[in-house]
Structure formats: structure tokens, C-alpha cells
Amino acid sequence: MRATQGALIVASILNMILGYSRAWGAFAKKFSPVIMTPVVCVVGLGLFQIGFPQVGKCVEIGLPMLILAIVVQQYAPLYFRHIHERTTFLFERYSLLLCIGIVWAFAAILTAAGAYNHVSLKTQQHCRTDKSFLISSAPWIKISYPFHWGPPIFTAGHSFGMMGAVLVSSFESTGAHFATARL
């Protein structure tokens, strides 16, 4: 944690230098959709191998979440636009939080109804809301303070890795900004 803390400090200094020197704005003027689309796709595909196996651990919860997220993000703003113009804004901004709440309630209903009583222990750990101990193990109020784990350790390997992550996230957020501006 101390090495991660030091790497975050170095990477945030790089991010501040790019922002305050206006260097990123000069670079962003030269970006085009031909450059940004592969960058955003590569980042998304890199996360695909992490996220999709998690969906498969509990198909009864993961598949409805995936379908609901697509429907709420893509079709609900168009359908509810006629009711009030503010609903489109709410669905665009908070659709994922809405989906998480709905699917969590669905999982709680399945758990209370006994849908997972006669399945393997591994399936129960991934699907039941009372066997995951998510609520009871989460610290509700955790106030962090600077250098919580001690003085930071600055290593080149961790710092360059975190600086690479900063550059990738800057590319991705700039690409997402261009994509949404086109919409």
C-alpha cells in the first residue's frame, strides 16, 4: 500500500503537469475519431476478460443485470423522453446505479424465496445475498487520512505503471468526451 501510495502521488503530479501546462489540450486538438476509437476499444476489451467471467459465476443475477443495463441505457431514455425531458438526463447519468439497485433487490427476492437452497456452496456464495457477507463485512464509515499506511515508498516500477494508467485514462476520458460530443 505504501508503494501504491507513492505511485499515486507521482502519477497525480504528472496529471497536474499535463493539465496546468495545457499540454493535454494541445494534444487533444490533434485527436480524431480514427485515433480515439481504437484506444477506447482496447481499454474496453482489456476489461472484458475480467468482467465477463464474473457474470458467469452467477448467471441468474449476471445475465439480468447485463440485459437490464443495455435496456436502461439504450432504450429507456428514448421511451421516457416523452414524459419529461429531465428523465433522459437521469437515465443517462444514473442508469447503472438504478440497475444495480434493481438487480440487488431481485437477488434478495431470489434468496428469500429459497431459489438457492439446494445448489452447490460455490453458487450460494456468488448468488445469495446473505452468504456473500457483503453488507456485514463492509465498513460503513471509514475516514481515511493522508499517509494512513505510513510514509509512501517511491519506486520507479510502480510509478511508471501508474503514470501509464494515468495516460490511458486520460486518452479514454478524452475519447469518451469526443464520442458524447458527437452524439
How many domains are there within the chain? 2
> pLDDT tens digit string along 89-146?
787 778 888 898 999 899 889 888 988 888 888 888 778 877 766 667 777 777 777 7
- 153 pLDDT band, cuts 50/70/90, is very high
Helix (H) or strand (E) holding 137: helix 134-137
User: Which domain covers residue 19, as residue numbers?
Assistant: 1-30
Query: Does pLDDT of 154 surpass 90?
Result: yes
| Cα–Cα dist 22/66, whole Å | 39
Q: Is residue 150 part of a domain?
A: no
pLDDT at residue 156 in the model: 92
DSSP 108-124: HHHHHHTTTTTS-HHHH
* Confidence (pLDDT) at 179: 65
Give CA separation, 138 vs 101, 133, 134, 135, 142, in Å.
Answer: 17, 8, 6, 6, 10
CA–CA gap between residue 173 and residue 29 (Å, rounded): 14
For residues 13 and 64, membership in a common domain is answered with no
Are residue 16 and residue 79 in the same domain, yes or no? Answer: no
Residue 170 is predicted with a pLDDT of 80
Boundary-marking domain end, from 130, 148, 178: 130
Assess if residue 183 is contained within a domain.
no
pLDDT band at 30 (very low <50, low <70, confident <90, very high): confident
| pTM of the predicted structure, to 2 decimals | 0.56
Look-up of cell digits 448467471:
59
Residue 69 lies in a domain: yes
Structure confidence at residue 43 as a pLDDT band (50, 70, 90): low
Q: Give residue-wise pLDDT tens across range 52-93.
A: 777 778 888 888 888 898 888 888 877 887 887 777 778 777
- Can you give the C-alpha Rg of the chain in angstroms? 21
